[in-house]
A and B are shown apart, each in its own frame.
Chain A
Amino acid sequence: MRKCKKIRKEIIFALIEERDFGKEIEEHLIECKECKDLFVYLRSINSASEAIKDKIEEEMEKIDWRRVEREIIDKVKEESRRPLPITPLTNLLSPKYLIPSMAILIILISVFIYKASIPKKRDLFSSSQLVFERMEKVSAKNEILKYFEDSGLLLSNLMEKGGMDKHSLEKSKELLLKKRFINQYLDDFPNAKRIASKIDLIFMEFQMEEEKDEIREIIDKDNLILKINLVKDELKEIGVL
């Protein structure tokens, strides 16, 4: 078994690095059906990839590149006609921009002094904008919490029952998709992001039924359920950022 693990790793890396593997592996592939299955799968990946490569070339030939180039140039020209983008400070201080920059700076300082001298009062637009932003963050946090709650429940079930039924497998698939969705919000919560990545890998493992003992070992060794609960508490405590 240990030999198989080593050999499977070696076959995958040989494919990644585009190199051949030794005679020992070739001989093993004749004897071991599971490793041979992996080899066949990797060969299929290679031939499917070749077909996709051909498809890319076919698509490239079909494109009217002259038209695409013209469109790009038109867009670039359009961009050049737009007002100056925010340039680095060094550019603003160059002789060409020095006078306009100073004028803008004086106006900004005047506006700042004027604003500071009058009592603050938010206009309707900016406050509704803030409300929307806050609503989005609250709903993102709730989605993340829900993800952890569902994941925790699923993992606890697995630990208790020692197996996975069809419903749990479907749920794990759903949670894999949900993780893709909440990914964009996880950057605000580093601990949650770390734990969610671990859960994600475990759910990937779920797709292979025969490895469930190994999965249980990982969940147990990593104290994953405890960590999920801690992250949930942390999320509830920190409120909306």
Chain B
Amino acid sequence: MGSDETKEKCKEIVRRIKDGESEAFSELIPIFKGKIFSVAYGFFKNREEALDITQEVFIRLWKMIKNIEAKDMESWVLKVTKNLCIDHYREKKRRELKEMNANLKKIAKGREDGKEFFQDLLEEALRMIPERQAFAFSLRFFNGMKISEISKIMGISEGGAKSMLFKAINNIRKIMKRERK
């Protein structure tokens, strides 16, 4: 994960931070900000939430910077992004338990066939399946990640990642089919 050039750059920045040049940390932000934001945005579809997650990941990175191997930094950053997204999502779900069902019904009742309708239904159905399945789905389809990358971020084998995506697709289809009837 991550090009050799990025890894070398991270290595150099970490070395400078360890030597006391803490300002060098700011050079890590342009390297990872886009990836963190797009993963978080793909999952939440909400700019503010995605920005909060982005900020929190960098604060955690700062706290742990001296203990992370530069070559594993991108993988670490994305794993933390995943954990924060899922934690935040669970908390949000607790608050919006009732709203979710109502939304799904409202969208399905609209029955305007077409891309936007399908997209809304897909986004709502994603909120009803297990969080890890939803996150893996979002990485694969909204962020265009490869199975090998998804398996690293999710901390499972490639076979496990494929099967998680398979279940996600089937579960979403079942929910959507039900709601469209």
Total chain A interface residues with beta-carbon distance under 8 A: 50
CB-contact partner of A48 in B62, B115, B131, under 8 A: B115
Question: Please, what's the 1-or-0 string for B10-34, where 1 marks a CB less than 8 Å from any CB in chain A?
Answer: 0000000000001001100110011
Interface residues in B100-124 by Cβ distance below 8 A to A read 100-101, 115, 118-119, 122-123
A73 touches B26 (CB 8 A): yes
B51 touches A63 (CB 8 A): yes
- Considering the complex, give the chain A residue whose CB is closest to the CB of B121: A48
Number of A-B pairs, beta carbon distance below 8 Å: 127
Given contacts A52-B119, A208-B174, contact A79 B62 (CB under 8 A): yes
Given contacts A17-B162, A45-B141, contact A52 B42 (CB under 8 A): yes
- Considering the complex, give the chain B residue whose CB is closest to the CB of A46: B141
A44 touches B118 (CB 8 A): yes
CB-contact partner of B115 in A51, A88, A176, under 8 A: A51
A177 touches B128 (CB 8 A): yes
Q: B146: shortest Cβ distance to chain A, in Å? A: 8
Given contacts A16-B166, A51-B115, contact A75 B55 (CB under 8 A): yes
A69 touches B38 (CB 8 A): no
Q: B112: shortest Cβ distance to chain A, in Å? A: 14
**Residue B135 is within 8 A (CB to CB) of chain A in the complex:** no
**Residue A76 is within 8 A (CB to CB) of chain B in the complex:** yes
**Contact residues in A for B50 (Cβ distance below 8 Å):** 59
In angstroms, Cα B101 to Cα A194, docked, is 25
**Contact residues in B for A45 (Cβ distance below 8 Å):** 122, 141, 169, 172
**Contact residues in B for A13 (Cβ distance below 8 Å):** 162, 166
**Residue B147 is within 8 A (CB to CB) of chain A in the complex:** yes
Question: Please, what's the 1-or-0 string for B76-109, where 1 marks a CB less than 8 Å from any CB in chain A?
Answer: 0000000000000010011001001100000000
Q: B75: shortest Cβ distance to chain A, in Å? A: 20
- Considering the complex, give the chain A residue whose CB is closest to the CB of B172: A45
**Residue A56 is within 8 A (CB to CB) of chain B in the complex:** yes
- Considering the complex, give the chain A residue whose CB is closest to the CB of B136: A16
B58 touches A12 (CB 8 A): no
**Residue B68 is within 8 A (CB to CB) of chain A in the complex:** no
CB-contact partner of B174 in A48, A63, A73, A205, under 8 A: A205
